């Protein structure tokens, strides 16, 4: 019952995973599309439309192979594969090959040796089976209008055996990146010992100290348009070579990226297959690591300080004088040139400027030929940050979210026992009160009272704790 309620809660009241039957699309001629197959075709056509143009004169798997990088002879033992199989999440969905993780997990002892042979051969030769380069795409609703395909994130469900080899190769790639300090310190996403919290604390610690000493500070929030889907394979291959990865691994990754295909699933229907000409698959194991490598040189040549969490980027600088503001504008121009060179694109409508400090002149900045809008408050990695560095808005938002979920629990769960309500509170409510709280911890009594009222409400709901203060 509790598990069913959790599914209902997030489907019905916080629609993240939206059932395809609830999606209604509108054609350009105003005709509403309700058939599952038509929905899938429209979504797949839209997802494919954002890809970068395929380079006909350069095959990714051939690029950079004559740079003199060393070959390796990877060895994958039966025990390694068996350990990966044993830790499979049996509730995950299979890829287009329909090899279910539960079956693979139960047959781990039997299939680990032949899989190890296949994995090792694939890595050494750089030949990736076609089934591992196919993906079932599930549209994940983000926010906004449900009839706008732009408001859905394409998450790829790929072959489970293919993902196991991705994990093995990812360990080698990450070890190389860490040993050689390849990834810049400015990257906090998908990086060991870094997180949203370290990103926020390290960035705004300096901003706060500057503002406290009377400086004006400008922060640019920058947003790439379809960042993961637009990564050009040829340029990524070149950057894999430059970061010093061995030839064997680069060859395998380039083959894994080439000639990929995808289809969109909606209920029992699926779209036709479409070629994937750019990007790193969202939902894959290697995708985030490859994106970090691709975007790693974004910092080069900048005078101001930049910080990243995957594709979420912030640029900051002191803005006391015209010369200071000119330096920030020069950095924005460099970032725009980087995007053009690397076949990426900033979503200028979502790029915003926050002005901090009492003496801030609220300078306007541009990217390319578009002026960026100023804002008084931005959601930064899920945390509301305003231009006065006051965390009251974030406290309000956290308390409102927590109270909303508590109301759903109150209406949907009849039991008032501690054994039922406390796990629900810990899983669904508490994370909203604790997420990055080291950064936005309330200082004002009114803000503290708002959060404590959530705790008191929980105790009144649990039988036996109703009279606790």
What does the pLDDT look like over 410-453, one tens digit per residue? 899 888 898 999 999 999 999 999 999 999 999 899 999 999 99
- Asked if the model's pLDDT at residue 64 lies above 50, the reply is no
469 lies in some domain: no
Q: Which residues span the domain enclosing 404? A: 391-461
pLDDT at residue 129 in the model: 96
Q: Which residue has the higher pLDDT, 5 or 86?
A: 86
pLDDT in tens, 166-201: 999 999 999 999 999 999 999 999 999 999 999 999
pLDDT at residue 16 in the model: 36
How do beta strands 134-141 and 152-157 pair?
Answer: antiparallel
49 lies in some domain: yes
Are residues 253 and 266 located together in one domain of the fold?
yes
433 lies in some domain: yes
pLDDT at residue 469 in the model: 57
Copy the structure tokens of residue 334.
């460099």
Are residues 34 and 170 located together in one domain of the fold?
yes
Residue 7 banded pLDDT, cuts 50, 70, 90: very low
Say how many domains are in the chain. 3
pLDDT at residue 13 in the model: 36
- By the 8 A CB rule, do 156 and 283 touch? yes
Are residues 302 and 367 located together in one domain of the fold?
yes
Q: Which residue has the higher pLDDT, 23 or 408?
A: 408
pLDDT in tens, 282-310: 999 999 999 999 999 999 999 999 999 99
467 lies in some domain: no
- Asked if the model's pLDDT at residue 211 lies above 70, the reply is yes
Torsion, Cα of 83, 88, 94, 99 (10° steps): 40
25 lies in some domain: yes
Residue 58 banded pLDDT, cuts 50, 70, 90: very low
Could you give the angle at the alpha carbon of 350 between the alpha carbons of 240 and 436, nearest 5°?
A: 75
pLDDT at residue 461 in the model: 87
Q: Which residue has the higher pLDDT, 388 or 268?
A: 388
Copy the structure tokens of residue 196.
């949203």
Are residues 356 and 417 located together in one domain of the fold?
no
Are residues 270 and 318 located together in one domain of the fold?
no
Are residues 8 and 61 located together in one domain of the fold?
yes
Are residues 360 and 338 located together in one domain of the fold?
yes
122 lies in some domain: yes
Pick from 249, 283, 317: which residue ends a domain? 283
For residue 121, CA distances in Å to 128, 190, 241, 320 come to: 9, 28, 22, 60
Are residues 53 and 126 located together in one domain of the fold?
yes
Residue 1 banded pLDDT, cuts 50, 70, 90: very low
- By the 8 A CB rule, do 360 and 319 touch? yes
Q: Which of 106, 118, 126 is nearest to 161 (CA)?
A: 118
Q: What DSSP state is assigned to residue 224?
A: B
468 lies in some domain: no
pLDDT in tens, 318-367: 999 999 999 999 999 999 999 999 999 999 999 999 999 999 999 999 99
The pTM of this model reads 0.89
Dmax over CA atoms of the chain, in Å, equals 75
For all residues of the chain together, what is the average pLDDT?
88
pLDDT at residue 23 in the model: 56
Are residues 89 and 216 located together in one domain of the fold?
no
- By the 8 A CB rule, do 155 and 287 touch? no
Are residues 256 and 373 located together in one domain of the fold?
no
Phi-psi sector, 30: left (phi>0), alpha (psi -120 to 50), beta: left
Residue 73 banded pLDDT, cuts 50, 70, 90: confident
Are residues 437 and 356 located together in one domain of the fold?
no
For residue 408, CA distances in Å to 2, 59, 251, 354, 382 come to: 12, 53, 51, 35, 22
DSSP string of 331-376, one letter each residue = HHHHHHHHHHHTT--B-TTT-EEEEESTT------EETTEEPEEES
pLDDT at residue 17 in the model: 38
User: In sequence order, what E strands does 32-119 have?
Assistant: 32-33
173 lies in some domain: yes
Are residues 339 and 432 located together in one domain of the fold?
no
């Amino acid at each position: 019952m509790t598990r069913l309620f959790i599914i209902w809660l997030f489907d019905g009241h916080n629609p993240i995973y939206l059932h395809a039957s609830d999606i209604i699309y509108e054609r350009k001629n105003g005709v509403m599309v309700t058939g599952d197959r038509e929905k899938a075709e429209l979504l797949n056509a839209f997802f494919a439309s954002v890809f970068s143009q395929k380079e006909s004169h350069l095959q990714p798997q051939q690029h950079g192979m004559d740079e003199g990088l060393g070959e390796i002879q990877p060895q994958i033992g039966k025990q390694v594969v068996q350990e990966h199989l044993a830790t499979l999440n049996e509730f995950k969905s299979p890829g287009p090959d329909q090899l279910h993780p539960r079956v693979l997990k139960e047959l781990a002892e039997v299939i680990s040796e032949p899989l190890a042979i296949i994995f090792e051969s694939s890595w050494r030769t750089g030949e990736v089976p076609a089934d591992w380069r196919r993906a079932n795409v599930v549209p994940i609703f983000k926010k906004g209008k449900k009839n706008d395909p732009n408001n859905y994130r394409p998450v790829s469900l790929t072959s489970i055996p293919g993902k196991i080899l991705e994990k093995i190769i990812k360990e080698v790639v990450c070890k190389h990146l860490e040993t050689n300090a390849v990834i810049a310190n400015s990257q906090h996403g998908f990086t060991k010992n870094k997180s949203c919290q370290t990103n926020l604390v390290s960035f705004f610690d300096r901003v706060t100290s500057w503002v406290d000493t009377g400086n004006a500070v400008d922060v640019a929030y920058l947003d790439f348009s379809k960042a993961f889907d637009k990564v050009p394979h040829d340029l990524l291959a070149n950057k894999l070579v430059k970061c010093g990865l061995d030839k064997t691994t680069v060859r395998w990754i380039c083959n894994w990226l080439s000639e990929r295909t995808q289809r969109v699933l909606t209920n029992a229907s699926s779209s036709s297959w479409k070629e994937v000409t750019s990007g790193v698959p969202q939902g894959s194991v290697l995708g985030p690591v490859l994106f970090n490598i691709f975007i790693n040189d974004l910092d080069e040549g900048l005078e101001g300080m930049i910080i990243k969490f995957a594709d979420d980027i912030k640029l900051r600088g002191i803005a006391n004088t015209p010369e200071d503001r000119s330096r920030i504008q020069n950095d924005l121009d460099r970032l725009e040139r980087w995007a053009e060179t690397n076949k990426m694109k900033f979503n200028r409508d979502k790029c915003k400027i926050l002005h901090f400090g009492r003496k801030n002149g609220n300078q306007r900045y541009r990217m390319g030929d578009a002026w960026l809008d100023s804002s008084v408050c931005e959601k930064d990695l899920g945390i509301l940050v305003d231009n006065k560095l006051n965390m009251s808005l974030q406290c309000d938002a956290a308390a409102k979210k927590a109270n909303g979920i508590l109301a759903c629990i109150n209406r949907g769960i009849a039991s008032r026992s501690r054994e039922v309500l406390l796990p629900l509170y810990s899983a669904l409510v508490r994370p909203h009160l604790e997420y990055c709280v080291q950064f936005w911890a309330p200082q004002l009594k009114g803000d503290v009272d708002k959060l404590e009222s959530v705790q008191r409400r929980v105790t009144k709901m649990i039988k036996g704790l109703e009279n606790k203060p």
